[in-house]
Amino acid sequence: MDQPTSGAEPADAADGGAEALDRPLPEGVRRRVIALVADAFGGLTVAELPAQLRQYARFTPTRRAKFAGNAMAAALESEPLFRQRIGERLSQAQPELAGALEAGSPPAAADPVDVAAAAYVLRPVGWVKLVEAAGEEVQRADAERVGEETRRELVQLREELERARAHTRSETERLRAELDAARKESESLHRKLRSAQSEVKRGEAALRRSTAEAEAQRAEAAAQLSAAESESRRLKHRLGEAEAAVEAGRRASREGRSMEDMRLRLLLDTVLDAASGLRRELALPPVTARPADSVDAVEPGRMSPKDIAARALSDTDPALLDQLLALPQAHLIVDGYNVTKTGYPQMPLEKQRLRLLGGLSVLAAQTGAEMTCVFDGAELAAPVLLAPPRGVRVLFSKAGVTADELIRQLARAEPPGRPVVVVSTDREVADGVAKAGARPVASVLLLKRLSRV
């Protein structure tokens, strides 16, 4: 903060106007002056304050000293009327000190900083000397305090040095003991190393002996292998002879069995001829129709599951979905967020997923159909820790792939002829899966069906 300095004032012997400081206020005196002004500030009206200080009129003394210190110091130096009003407040607050300063005999027991600050505000005759004396007193006190602190630090440093020396001596002794122990351990390790080298040499000699023995055994094994191969060739020759004998026996057995088959066929032909003669005698018409032909039904290839389910049902009737899922090996593919944002968009995404998957799990248990629920992976801020419910396959689209494209891939992966139902209100998804042979239904249809679960 700026130091208040002496300014040009009208010559007034009673106000000390002929006197002026030739140096900045000591820092301690300056802080005390600002504190005095901040305390007396609140007793003045807004009109009595200089224009630059009126914005701080509602501040507390502490906040005024903190934020308006420079402004108050400048106003005190440049505004004689403002300084006079502050001096009057100071005289009312500390009449004894003010009277002593006006009389030219400041109290000997008073703090020199308080005396200098009051003299700077009241400006009695000789106030400059009082301020300079206070500055010198503060400097002497600071010097004595610094000297005392220096002495205490010196004593403390000496004590720390002595402790460090003692610690160094103890550490030296400890390191010497550790060095002796390490030397002894090194000698022991050298002895163990020499013993290990001797063991290695003995092991190498044993390895050489084992290698020679292994070579001899390998040669013996090669000879035995050659003999075994010769024996194997001989046995294969004998096996071929045995197989030829077995094949000859099988041919003889088949010839004998052919005779029995001929007899059995002759007997069967006799029975069939007898049955034909009996049919002619009874005049029975030939059988061209069967009982099952009289039942009214749709033959395969004549009508699609879409036509069956659509008969007498609207596109929003939950019974339509029941009929589709009742088809053999039906597969229900659900556009997850399309359904949840149609039915309950106000819920968080996590609760939307849990509610939909819970309903699909119950529906899977009721119908036995295969169910796959697809969510858009782009909606996720982090990986989802989700245990798929029983009977429901849960899939999230990869980065760069939308849930709509994943649904179309699932529909195209199914074999032609399998009943595949896709739940989505998205027109593009519906058209895409319809080209793949799937049946698209609206999301509201599934929501109505789940409301009955």
pLDDT of residue 418: 85
Residue 1 has pLDDT above 50, yes or no: no
Across the range 333-348, mean pLDDT stands at 93
Across the range 320-333, mean pLDDT stands at 89
The pLDDT-based confidence of 359 (bands split at 50, 70, 90) is: very high
The total number of structural domains in the chain stands at 2
Report the percent of the chain where pLDDT is more than 70.
76
pLDDT of residue 284: 59
pLDDT of residue 339: 94
pLDDT of residue 283: 65
- In sequence order, the 6+-apart residues with CB closer than 8 A to the CB of 87 are 98, 121, 122, 123
Q: What is the pLDDT of residues 366-403, one digit of tens each?
A: 999 999 999 988 666 556 667 778 889 999 988 888 89
Q: Of the residues 125, 141, 163, which one is the last residue of a structural domain? A: 125
Across the range 419-433, mean pLDDT stands at 92
Work out the mean pLDDT of the chain and round it to a whole number.
Answer: 78
For residues 115 and 437, the model is more confident at: 437
Q: Confirm if 24 and 138 have CB atoms less than 8 A apart.
A: no
DSSP assignment of 34-81: HHHHHHHHTTS-TTTS-GGGGGGTTS-HHHHHHHSHHHHHHHHHH-HH
Q: Name the phi and psi angles at 344, rounded to 5.
A: -145, 70
> Quick check: is 283 in a domain?
no
> Quick check: is 55 in a domain?
yes
Residue 239 has pLDDT above 80, yes or no: yes
Exposure b/e, 126-144, CB count within 10 A at least 16 = b:
ebbebbbbbbebbeeeeee
> Quick check: is 226 in a domain?
no
CA distance 378 to 380: 5
The pLDDT-based confidence of 445 (bands split at 50, 70, 90) is: very high
The pLDDT-based confidence of 299 (bands split at 50, 70, 90) is: very low
pTM greater than 0.75 (yes/no): no
Block residue for tokens 């849930």: 403
pLDDT of residue 142: 65
Specify the 3-state DSSP secondary structure of 420.
Answer: strand
CA distance 115 to 103: 13
> Quick check: is 86 in a domain?
yes
Indicate the burial class of 379 (C-beta count within 10 angstroms; 0-12, 13-18, 19 or more): middle
> Quick check: is 145 in a domain?
no
Q: Which range of residues forms the domain containing residue 100?
A: 13-125
Return the structure tokens found at 226. Answer: 């050659």
Exposure b/e, 79-116, CB count within 10 A at least 16 = b:
bbebbebbbbbbbeebeebbebbeeeebeeeeebbbbb
Across the range 60-77, mean pLDDT stands at 77
pLDDT of residue 12: 41
pLDDT of residue 388: 79
> Quick check: is 174 in a domain?
no
Q: Of the residues 125, 157, 190, which one is the last residue of a structural domain? A: 125
- Give the total residue count for the chain: 453
Residue 80 has pLDDT above 90, yes or no: no
Of 215-224, 286-295, 333-342, 402-411, minimum mean pLDDT range: 286-295
Across the range 2-14, mean pLDDT stands at 38
Block residue for tokens 């009206």: 45
Q: Which CATH number is 401's domain given? A: 3.40.50
The pLDDT-based confidence of 446 (bands split at 50, 70, 90) is: very high
Of 124-133, 224-233, 238-247, minimum mean pLDDT range: 124-133
CA angle 314, 316, 321 (to 5 degrees): 90
CA angle 370, 375, 378 (to 5 degrees): 155
The pLDDT-based confidence of 53 (bands split at 50, 70, 90) is: confident
Return the structure tokens found at 66. Answer: 């903190």
Packing angle, helices 112-122 and 80-93, rounded to 10: 130
**Residue 16 φ/ψ region, left for φ over 0, alpha for ψ in the -120 to 50 degree band, beta for the rest:** left
The pLDDT-based confidence of 258 (bands split at 50, 70, 90) is: low
Residue 181 has pLDDT above 50, yes or no: yes
Across the range 415-437, mean pLDDT stands at 90
pLDDT of residue 277: 65
pLDDT of residue 384: 65
Residue 271 has pLDDT above 70, yes or no: no
Q: Of the residues 91, 109, 125, which one is the last residue of a structural domain? A: 125
pLDDT of residue 452: 81
Across the range 5-21, mean pLDDT stands at 45
Across the range 337-358, mean pLDDT stands at 92
> Quick check: is 257 in a domain?
no
The pLDDT-based confidence of 295 (bands split at 50, 70, 90) is: very low
pLDDT of residue 9: 39
Residue 8 has pLDDT above 50, yes or no: no
**Residue 368 φ/ψ region, left for φ over 0, alpha for ψ in the -120 to 50 degree band, beta for the rest:** left
Across the range 210-218, mean pLDDT stands at 90
Report the percent of the chain where pLDDT is more than 90.
21
Packing angle, helices 318-325 and 349-367, rounded to 10: 60
> Quick check: is 182 in a domain?
no
Highest-confidence segment of 56-60, 67-71, 91-95, 171-175: 171-175
Q: Confirm if 2 and 70 have CB atoms less than 8 A apart.
A: yes
For residues 90 and 429, the model is more confident at: 429
The terminus-to-terminus CA distance of the chain in angstroms comes to 78
